[in-house]
Structure 1
Amino acid sequence: MSALEASDLEAQSREAIQKGSKSFAAAAALFDAQTRADAEMLYAWCRHCDDVIDGQTLGHGMSPVADAPARLAALYAQTRSALAGETPSDPVFAAFQTVALRRGIPERYALDMIDGFSMDVEGRGYETLEDLLAYCWGVAGVVGAMMAIVMGVPASDLPTLRRAQDLGLGFQLTNIARDIVEDARNDRVYVPRAWLAELSLPVEQLTDPARRADVAALARRLVQAAEPYYASARWGLRDLPVRSAWAIAAARGVYRQIGLDVVSAGPAAWDERVVVSGRMKAWRALEGGIVALRSATLDRLGKTPERPAMWSKI
């Protein structure tokens, strides 16, 4: 691949992340140049796969997809082909191939992510929190593991990858809490069915404004479930380069803040989409820098606390 082609792929990937996730784009700016380019190319592939299945454009405007199984099969085929070293015709897969082969991303991780999207295609429901976490692994936890590999963590370093997985799980639980009502409008229900049964809340009533207090209770429970994963992820920062640790600590702070804001808003959280203010993002970025410095200094002098006994795929 020529330098110009590589530059084009990086530019297209950066544009995708800036349009698809302002929070992640801001955090990615804290990486060193090569890590940023690789993280953005990996993100662009993840975003593309999600958009293909959901009928979206850069994460916006979900619409029903009639040929979802065929689209899913194409994603599997294109991903396997890229990882096998065949020349992709799609720039998104060319970018993914570049970063995956350069960083040594295991095929099983890439395919696990698409497996997560297959659960959406099947319209799968989740009875328990553990069932939901298995889904969260596919669409977010494994992304955290792949991102850690992009940042230089060896694919064999399972303890650190487990912490990266935990951050992805926390992110996804937060997303689900924020988007309960919007997802339900699109016939996507991720809240554990057992939790709905406890509140005598039928799936059909998740969008009913009269049940917003119950929806708020569900969101609070999801946010609480995310907390131990955010706490665990913090101890993976010590094994990252300091700039990568800063970027991830900032993203961790911003996403965790989304969950806190959802809980704080209570039933009003779905009057409009909860977003973190620019001032709060700046504060979380500054806070992330402090956490990263501690992780690179004091934390490395001591022993990493043992990870709590909680759900994990790794």
Structure 2
Amino acid sequence: MTIRELNAAGITDPQLRQAYARCRRLNAEHGKTYYLATRMLTPAQRPAIHALYGFARYADDIVDLPPAEATSADIAGALQDVADALVRGLTTGHSRDPILAAVVDSAQRFGIERELFDDFLASMRMDLTVERYPTRSDLYRYTRGSAEVIGLQVLPVLGTVTSRSEAAPAAAALGLAFQLTNFLRDVAEDYERGRIYLPLDELAACGVDEDRLGWCVTNRRTDPRMTEALRFQIAATREVYAQAVLGIAMLAPVSRLCVQTAYTLYSEILGRIEAAEYDVFSHRASVGTARKVRVGVAALAKAVWTRRFAMPASETVVQ
């Protein structure tokens, strides 16, 4: 976290500054596309975005990267400890935890609803017991907390030129679109962890059962039935992106380029999967560094212009 960003956000407490800095490092290390997009925001906005990302990563790692000797009960207990500490922090207005301190402060500054954190943690708990999703409706009960609320959490930080309630559906759709993209990119990795985040009934309609999916993972190759299933999933994900893009114009001008950059780079992962003939088993689809730099540099130049000449922040509506 640069001193300029912390000063711009009015964060002066030394412990809080350390907490925000830790969240920024987590974002830079693990969320490279998201981190690049945050450079389009004003310095005052960036710390809160880093804090929200840091908290999500913190909780997600408890579930996905536990110590080798940890039992399910141990993981559930650790997640509950985080939930309890977060509730205490949101209730008292401060926390000594080096991650939670930043997210509690951000929630207070921007009026982020506690229910959004509750929904997120509920989905993290689902990962401890639920490994399959029979239908898309079942999957979307999980993604409500694991993806949609992320879009809703950052919305107050980004600001809007409409009411927040009007922009909320598109913000939720963008979080969902990003996670559905992750599910498609990480099919093999998720399967090896014992999880399938694609609706089983939609796979079955394309002739894919768990044995067929396991064969593709084991042999590091796709087949015609799996290819058709992935083609269907990509089409469904693009429909969600189409809902999400409508919300970009509802954001405060200083925030639009950030979200547009994330939208562009993340949605292009779907095209990379198609270009690889739907082979998500032998390599991980990603947008190359050169492409990220081209998109990022162009957006950053526009963002600088927007911050100088767009409508003042006081004219945005956040409610």
Question: TM-score, structure 2 length as denominator?
Answer: 0.82
Deviation digits for residues 173-214 of structure 1 (CA, Å, limit 9, x no counterpart):
110011111100110111111023224433244232367123
Decide whether the 8 Å contact of 2:123 with 2:145 is kept in 1: yes
How far off is 1:283 after superposition?
A: 3.8
User: Hey, what's the Cα distance between the residues in 1 that align with 2:297 and 2:228?
Assistant: 31
Question: Is the contact between residue 269 and residue 285 of structure 2 (CA under 8 Å) also seen in structure 1?
Answer: yes
Following the alignment from structure 1 to structure 2, what is the Cα–Cα distance between the partners of residues 130 and 221?
16
1:162 aligns with 2:169: yes
Greater Cα shift, 18-27 or 213-222: 213-222
Task: Quote how far apart the aligned CAs of 1:116 are.
Answer: 1.3
Distance change >3 Å, CA 174–CA 63, structure 1 → 2 = farther
Residue 204 of structure 2 is aligned to residue 197 of structure 1:
yes
The residue aligned with 1:107 is 114
1:97 aligns with 2:104: yes
CA–CA separation in structure 2 for the residues paired with 1:136 and 1:288 = 29
Change (3 A) 1:117 1:123: same
Distance 1:267 1:227 in 2: 15
Task: Label 1:288 to 1:135 Cα distance change in 2 as closer, same or farther (>3 A).
Answer: farther
Change (3 A) 1:63 1:247: farther
**Identity among equivalent pairs (%):** 25
Distance 1:246 1:41 in 2: 20
Q: After TM superposition, give the deviation of residue 291 of structure 1 in Å.
A: 10
**How far off is 1:21 after superposition?**
1.1
Q: Note if 1:231 corresponds to 2:238.
A: no
CA distance 1:233–1:255, shift in 2 (3 Å): same
Matched residue of 1:208: which SS?
A: helix
Shift of 1:266: 2.0
The aligned runs of 1:203-242 (5 Å cut-off) are: 203-209=210-216, 212-213=222-223, 214-242=225-253
Shift of 1:154: 9.8
Q: Root-mean-square deviation (CA), in Å?
A: 2.9
SS in 2 for 1:212: coil
Give CA-to-partner distance per residue, 1:233-282, whole Å, 9 cap, x none: 22212222223110110001111011111122124332111111122223
Rounded to whole Å, the distance in 1 between the matches of 2:71 and 2:163 is 38
Q: Does 1:30 align with 2:40?
A: yes
| Alpha-carbon distance in 2 for matches of 1:43, 1:184 | 25
Which TM-score applies when normalising by structure 1?
A: 0.83
Counterpart contact for 2:39–2:300, Cα < 8 Å:
no
Are the aligned partners of 2:177 and 2:241 in contact in 1 as well (CA < 8 Å)? yes
**CA, structure 1 residues 63+116, in 2 after alignment: closer, same or farther (shift >3 Å)?**
farther
CA contact (8 A) 1:27 1:251 kept: yes
What is the distance in 1 between the residues matched to 2:77 and 2:294?
44
Number of equivalent positions: 292
Correspondence list, 1:270-281, <5 A: 270-281=281-292
Q: Residues 96-153 of structure 1: CA distance to partner in whole angstroms, max 9, x if unpaired?
A: 1010111111011111111111221112421222221222221111101111122234
> SS at the partner of 1:34?
coil
- 1:177 corresponds in structure 2 to 184
1:251 pairs with 2:258: no
SS of match in other structure, 2:45: helix
**Aligned position for 1:305:** none
In the other structure, the counterpart of 2:53 is 43
